[in-house]
Amino acid sequence: PAEESESTILELKRNKTPFVLIDRYFPRIDTNYIVTDNYTGSYKATEHLIKQGYRRIGFIGFNIALNNYRERMNGFRDAMRKNKVRIDTDWIIQFDYRRRSFQLKENIRTLMSQKDPVRALLLANNNIGIETLIILNDLKIRVPQDIALVCFDDDPAFQLYNSPVTVISQKTDEIAEQCVETLFSGMGSPKPEFVKTLIEPELVIRKSCGNK
């Protein structure tokens, strides 16, 4: 579901239309959902950077009120706190996705021009990841020599980069299979119980963190 689609979900419920939410869900609406555990994925990504020795770690995401992005931010913050790594608010960038190309380049330029620049970034999705790689290349900033990257969501382009990008990979096949099973199992029941499943994503380690 997209941002501000709660009314559509509620209408489906009123009409008793069988459905399963994927990718994200609405905590205030009781429905079937099978989604990625965004919190755990982000936590694992951040902890990987910390274990690689990074302490100046930033986060880049969209400034939108969607549950999955909020959970990715929370996972980042909690991993930093648990490992006693300082969170610098200047290194947390959330911007309007409609103007992302311009804003992202200016934000990265600012991050890297500081006296003590950020040394690692967690990127909230693969669109941000691809644009970040383009911008870093334009600015002649090297990965991982100048900055390490982990991206939430994989993309085939990430493996073509000079230093293939470490990612949090969502298990889309498993999510799809469970969605189909949930729909079919609920069709024959007059009042089926809602299925609420979080599927833990996989940390795929490549070369963008330096593998210290």
User: What is the pLDDT, as a whole number, of residue 190?
Assistant: 66
Q: Indicate whether 164 pLDDT > 60.
A: yes
User: What is the pLDDT, as a whole number, of residue 16?
Assistant: 83
Tell me if 186 sits within 8 A of 31, measured CB to CB.
no
Burial of 197 per CB tally in 10 Å (0-12, 13-18, 19+): middle
Query: Measured between alpha carbons, how far is 143 from 161 in angstroms, rounded to an integer?
Result: 10
Tell me if 149 sits within 8 A of 123, measured CB to CB.
yes
Q: What is the pLDDT of residues 28-40, one digit of tens each?
A: 888 999 999 999 9
Q: Which two tokens stand for residue 24?
A: 């994200």
Return left, alpha or beta for 174; rule: phi > 0 is left, psi -120 to 50 is alpha, else beta: alpha
Stronger pLDDT, 42 or 193, i.e. the higher one: 42
The amino acid at 3: E
Q: Indicate whether 166 pLDDT > 80.
A: yes
Which architecture characterizes domain 38-169 according to CATH? Answer: 3-Layer(aba) Sandwich (3.40)
CA distances in angstroms from 164 to 29, 97, 110, 173, listed in the order given: 39, 25, 24, 23
Q: What is the pLDDT of residues 196-211, one digit of tens each?
A: 999 999 999 999 998 6
Is 60 strand, coil or helix?
Answer: strand
**Residue 145 C-beta-side C-alpha neighbours within 13 Å:** 6
Q: What is the pLDDT of residues 110-154, one digit of tens each?
A: 999 888 899 999 999 999 999 999 999 999 999 999 999 999 999
Q: Indicate whether 188 pLDDT > 90.
A: no
For residue 1, name the pLDDT band (cuts at 50, 70, 90). very low
Give the residue extent of every domain in the chain: 6-36+171-202, 38-169
